[in-house]
Structure 1
Amino acid sequence: MSKIDAILDRALAGERLGFEDGVALWESDEIEKLGWAANRLMLKLHPEPVTTFVIGRNINYTNICDTYCRFCAFYRAPGSKEGYVLPDEVIYRKIQETVDVGGTEILMQGGTNPDLPLEYYTRLLRGIKERFPSIHIHSFSPAEVMKIKEVSGLSLSEVIRELKEAGLDSLPGGGAEILDDEIRRKISRLKGSWRDWMDVMQEAHRQNMHTTATMVIGFGETVEHRVKHLLRVREAQDETGGFLAFIVWTFQPDNTNLKREKLPPEEYLKAVAVSRIMLDNIPNLQSSWVTMGPEIGKLSLRYGCNDFGSTMIEENVVSAAGTTHKVNTNMILRLIREAGKIPAQRNTRYEILRVFREGETVSNDFVMQN
């Protein structure tokens, strides 16, 4: 029996894998074998042949940012003529368009804008909830929350409490990149430590808010850095238990100041498989079709993913880096069926809202508008 076979047998038997196991898995070139094991582990968590997705929209409410990440093609520095903050009425219109096509989730993310006080966010959140009480506001990455904390002078606990009381429902996992300060200093020196990111997430968990966790590979990190990232997420989940899902994708280098070779699809599929095998306490793994493309997104459903993510009616950050994969709801239904699964619409809490019968489509599908 090979070393990899022995590690996978232990994982399939329910044993928790350690650091050296993770390194060995990531160094393996037996990607299909990793995928097979990851799929088996996924089926233990989700035995029904169902793949879920959420109808949602990304709203990038501001592109002004004083963090200056080398890998970001979206931001504009404070004072830039190309900087913007969307008017409230534009945000409301975008949400109305989302609701009109059956959407349930809004993911608002922007830069770390030093000119926006806490009151901007609480007023906007209250305005959204007054107009759209049923929409789930899954918004503001840890870096944005830390900037709000800095500008407000309040504690992290107070900031999250204020945002939650104003209508914030959950936090997305953006900005994790690689949870290792050696890598973070190289790619986003001003963004804060990995501990800052995790502190925001765990404080949200303590206040009964769910979050997601992410990882981006392809910054020049080692496999050891990647495994350390997974273990830190897993340990935090043991402590506070609020991560509903994990999403991994590859760095998109076009139009950025960080010149790296784009990783091949095989490396992404390996990342999905290793993540599913190592993260035994996180229930859901999302496909990242928006960076990898619909076909690789479909393939990831055989490598440990049980969820196809969001329809992402609008997306500007990854698109700024030259990646423009776009799908609509009916295309997601087709891709899930082609993978041999039954498509089901969920909400942000992973509660199933609607299971689609064979051949069933939606009549009010959206047209992508960026």
Structure 2
Amino acid sequence: MSRNLALERKEQLRSELKVQLPVPIDTKRYLMGRVAFIDVAIFSPFLALSCLFIYIFYSTGSLNKYTFILSAIPSVAIITFQMMKHPVRREISYLKYKILWRYNFKKREKEFYYRKGALDMGDKQDARRKIGIKATFADCYETTDKRFVRVFEVSSVNLSLANKPEKRSALDSFKVFMTTINFLKSIQFSQIAQPINLTRHLQHVMKKQKGEDNLAKRLLNQGYRNHIEEIQKSRDLVTRKRYIIISRNIGNDREKALDELDQQSKLLMTKIESMTFDYSSLSIKQLNNDELTKLMYTCTDYDNAVSIGEHIIDRANNRSSVSVGENTAKELIDVLQRQLREKIN
């Protein structure tokens, strides 16, 4: 009976073009009920410790209900924490996710710095060492485990408004892509939230208002520009971009690895652009060095990426130990030039 219900459920999902995601697999072996062998292994030392305390109190003649409760506290606490489970993932115990994981989180290093120049693997606070990216090279990420990683930004197709034949056509096209690509194991699909970028729109507005003589219109345009800038700085307004990521081991020959990655990139872009979705199609763009730097900065430090915006690339390419803003730099240049003119040798 249950088998028939499962088959009916599968057919219903297939007709609706849906899939049922599997629950997390519990790999623990259970002794009885909810008690697993790993639980017994965790309980045992504390049970032995409680028994030892009880024996010591009994041999000294000081065993009573208070000393018995005191001796049993370690075992009861560990058993309770171990048998309490996560509200969603039942295979994870309270002891693990509320105590051990929280302790490790508080103990680990939390402040890292993105340093410029050559990567020193002995520098534990260099963010590049933690994220595994040494630098951007030839429109790739060069990782610390000796790989070239290339990132492609891909457009999306809204299937929620499509009818069943259009959905089936889109899924069949994606199925053909997945079955005909010969380096599928090295492909990664990713969706990353990023701050809204309204720079081009802002430039368009500034261009239109240039030369405006009407004071009311100038004030209105200035207020609109300030509103756009506030939108860009808002942390709650984001856009979701889709990426396809491929990688290649560098090995001993960097040029060969880069050539092979270029071939895979061309094949991937051709496959994506040839996918048909009735009246729509996909577009794909390979990220260059500046775009890769901005993506990395956004993923590692989202809050500052929102406030800095387009100046991320300037800061990343600046090799000076001192970084100043645009207005401050102009004032500094003016001061230095004035001092050179007025200096008496």
Higher relative contact order (CA 8 A, sep 6+): 1
The bucket for the TM-score relative to the shorter chain is under 0.3
TM-score under structure 1 normalisation? Answer: 0.20
Bigger radius of gyration: 2
